[in-house]
Structures are given as C-alpha cells and as structure tokens.
Amino acid sequence: MRAFYFTIGVVLVPIGVAGVILPVLPGVPLLILAAACFARSSPRLERWLVNHPFLGPGIVAWRERGAISPKSKAISITVMALSGVAAFYSGAPAVAKTIALASLAGAALFVVTRPNR
C-alpha cells in the first residue's frame, strides 16, 4: 500500500501545482490529498510539501483550521457558477442538469461555510 500511496502522491503534486497556477484546476485540494498520501508512504516528502513556502500554506491552513483563503473561495464559487450556467443551458436531460446543479450548490455551500485563513 505504501507504493500505491506514494505513486498517487507523486501524480497529484504536479497536477496540484498546475491547479495553484491555473484557476480551472483545484490546486490546494489536490495538494492536500498528495500530503495525505505522503503521510502514509513518505514522511520526508510530506514534510517537504507541508513546509514548502509556496505550496504548504494552503495545506497547513486546511489541516489546522479547515480554512480556505478568500481568494480561493472566490475563484471556486465563480468557476462553479460558470459550470452551473453551462450545465443549465446544455442539452443534457433534466435529471442530469438537476444532479449537476445540486452537486454544484452543495459544493459551493461547503466552500463558503469554511473559515477564512
């Protein structure tokens, strides 16, 4: 299992870094998952990731307080709203639209109820 967690962590880090730079990918959640994988496979890489000056603060804020930065909240809510509009106007069946919009609304509610950093 250690090799599995290590592999998943190694795959998630570059995707998470891309997500920190590009607003369309969820960077910090992927880095949080990578840190969790490294906690089970490589404590040295977990320490490196958590203590990294650029990548670590979001992980630490989540671990300590379950916090999401206001900037990240704004980006998340904006992308979810745009996705909701796209889903609403898509040609998908009504059931699929309802499920998508309900899922987006639930995710948005979760994000806005988290404390700020």
pLDDT digits (tens, 9 = 90+) for 34-72: 999 999 999 999 999 999 999 999 999 999 999 988 988
H-helix or E-strand spanning residue 15: helix 2-21
pLDDT at 111: 92
Between the two ends of the chain, the Cα-to-Cα distance in Å is: 33
pLDDT in tens, 63-81: 999 998 898 889 889 989 9
Let me know whether 83 and 51 are in one domain. no
Alpha helices in 42-93 (DSSP H): 43-51, 56-65, 70-88
> What is the tally of structural domains in the chain?
2
Let me know whether 43 and 82 are in one domain. no
Let me know whether 55 and 19 are in one domain. yes
pLDDT greater at residue 24 or residue 75: 75
Let me know whether 18 and 60 are in one domain. yes
- Give the sign of the dihedral formed by CA 53, CA 58, CA 64, CA 67: positive
Nearest to 73 by CA among 107, 34, 31: 107
Let me know whether 59 and 84 are in one domain. no
Let me know whether 54 and 78 are in one domain. no
